[in-house]
């Protein structure tokens, strides 16, 4: 949520920032709504003061034994007027709330200009895409030939965009999760959390999924819960409403994630790239405002180390203003090379949200003067497990159909160095 003080006092500044994202803010309408709020609040305060004065006069008149009929009628009229103004003010405040919670975060000045993914800026590459002496196959062909990916069973059990992992496929998924968690907890200072896979509406509002993205969530029919779309939701909400003393806070968690992919109809229907249920290891940092810029670089580096350990070529991309997620002020995407598609594809987004989520969460810390101040929140996938499995199969495939296991992952597979015998 944007700073309401900034919205009221400098709406043109907010409008200019949001325009970089392609969002038009009607500053005239915003100013008119806020002026209406101020007028109603002033009139309401005057009416309440007048009613208090009439009540005082009624008390004095009764002490004198004087008739209070006219005063009581005036008090009743003022009471009716106050109720009308209270209702009008509540309607204005509700309209303000509905309007402002729908506004995305403002991009930082360091975010590149642009309107779509075509304007994103590649910052650096790591590793070299493999040069095969044979036609590269995609993960579907590789996994089905090895008997570790069963898309037909996934469709039979649940429907489209689901998969069953069998044997070494399931074991490989578990190994990837354990490798990521061990790396982040033992080397990067994250505290591992095992959160609920359901979240309430307040939690999803806090991180920005609600109300804007409700159509992409799976909701329980008769209960006020949603399946989490990412562990960002429970991890960031762990300290909701708190005033914390220590900085920074680092949390990580493995969870399954659930998304309708409502806006992705017809995209990536083959394989595991875009599914309704997928696994992720998520990182969340909660830091003081002055530390968030450096924290984003650090968090991104933590995600990069997973790819480097798995010997997967990738690139780091700075998203342009028009391609940022709703809550993000700045985002780096990690895009891994997929030989089966002959292109780089996103495997992690690492974002700095500034105080946008913290304001919704009322999550604060005490600054050097002991005063409560909003924290900054960050999160990143480190990594999306399914896409990591896809990248591993495709980048480490061999001509004979087998798949080499990176050295860093072998201890988690009992020393297995190749899939397929």
- Looking up tokens 């696994």 gives 279
In 319-371, DSSP assigns E strands to 330-338, 343-352, 364-366
- Active-site residue identified among 351, 381, 387, 394: 387
- The alpha helices in 65-109, defined as continuous H runs, are 69-101
- Active-site residue identified among 203, 292, 348, 349: 349
Residue 86 is a catalytic residue: no
Distance CA 242, CA 238 (A): 9
- Active-site residue identified among 166, 174, 274, 345: 274
- Looking up tokens 């895009």 gives 335
Residue 387 is a catalytic residue: yes
Distance CA 54, CA 132 (A): 90
Nearest to 383 by CA among 323, 319, 304: 304
Distance CA 389, CA 375 (A): 35
- Active-site residue identified among 51, 259, 359, 364: 259
Residue 116 is a catalytic residue: no
- Active-site residue identified among 346, 366, 398, 402: 346
Are 254 and 274 contacting, i.e. CB atoms less than 8 angstroms apart?
no
Structure tokens that stand for 42 in this block: 């002033």
107-119 per-residue burial string, b: 16 or more CB within 10 A, e: under 16? bbeebbebeeeee
Nearest to 58 by CA among 45, 70, 46: 70
Distance CA 101, CA 205 (A): 9
Q: From the CA atom positions of the chain, what is the Rg in Å?
A: 27
Residue 349 is a catalytic residue: yes
Q: Using CA of residue 224, residue 230, residue 235, residue 239, what is the dihedral sign?
A: negative
Residue 36 is a catalytic residue: no
Active site residues: 259, 274, 346, 349, 387
């Amino acid at each position: 949520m944007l700073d309401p003080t900034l919205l009221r006092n400098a709406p043109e500044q907010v409008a200019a920032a949001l325009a970089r994202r392609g969002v038009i803010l009607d500053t005239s309408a915003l100013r008119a709504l806020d002026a209406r709020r101020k007028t109603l609040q002033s009139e309401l305060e005057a009416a309440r003061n007048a009613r208090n004065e009439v009540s005082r006069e009624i008390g004095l008149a009764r002490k004198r034994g004087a008739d209070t009929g006219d005063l009581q009628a005036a008090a009743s009229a003022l009471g009716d007027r106050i109720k009308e103004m209270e209702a009008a003010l509540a309607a204005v405040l509700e309209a303000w709330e509905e309007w402002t919670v729908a506004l995305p975060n403002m991009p930082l000045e360091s975010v590149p200009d642009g309107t779509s993914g075509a304007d994103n800026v590649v910052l650096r590459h790591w590793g070299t895409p493999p040069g095969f002496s044979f036609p590269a196959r995609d993960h579907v062909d590789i996994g089905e030939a090895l008997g570790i990916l069963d898309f037909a069973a996934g469709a039979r059990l649940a429907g489209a965009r689901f998969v069953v992992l069998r044997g070494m496929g399931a074991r490989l998924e578990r190994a990837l999760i354990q490798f990521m968690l061990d790396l982040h907890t033992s080397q990067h200072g994250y505290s591992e959390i095992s959160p609920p896979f359901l979240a309430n509406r307040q939690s999803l509002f806090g991180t920005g999924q609600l109300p804007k993205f409700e159509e992409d969530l799976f909701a329980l029919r008769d209960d006020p819960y949603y399946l989490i779309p990412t562990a960002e939701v429970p991890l960031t909400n762990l300290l909701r409403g708190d005033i914390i003393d220590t900085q920074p806070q680092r949390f990580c968690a493995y969870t399954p994630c659930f998304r309708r992919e409502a806006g992705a109809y017809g995209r990536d229907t083959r394989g595991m790239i875009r599914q309704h249920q997928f696994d992720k290891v998520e990182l969340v940092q909660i830091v003081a405002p002055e530390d968030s810029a450096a924290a984003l670089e650090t968090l991104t580096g933590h995600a990069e180390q997973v790819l480097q350990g798995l010997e997967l070529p990738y690139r780091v991309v700075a998203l342009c203003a028009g391609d940022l997620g709703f809550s993000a002020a700045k985002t780096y995407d990690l895009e891994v090379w997929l030989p089966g598609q002959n292109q780089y594809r996103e495997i992690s987004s690492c974002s700095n949200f500034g105080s946008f989520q913290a304001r919704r969460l009322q999550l604060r810390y005490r600054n050097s003067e002991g005063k409560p101040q909003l924290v900054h929140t960050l999160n990143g996938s480190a990594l999306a497990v399914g896409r990591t499995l896809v990248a591993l199969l495709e980048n480490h495939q061999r001509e004979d159909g087998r798949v080499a296991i990176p050295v860093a992952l072998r201890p988690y597979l009992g020393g297995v160095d190749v899939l397929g015998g």
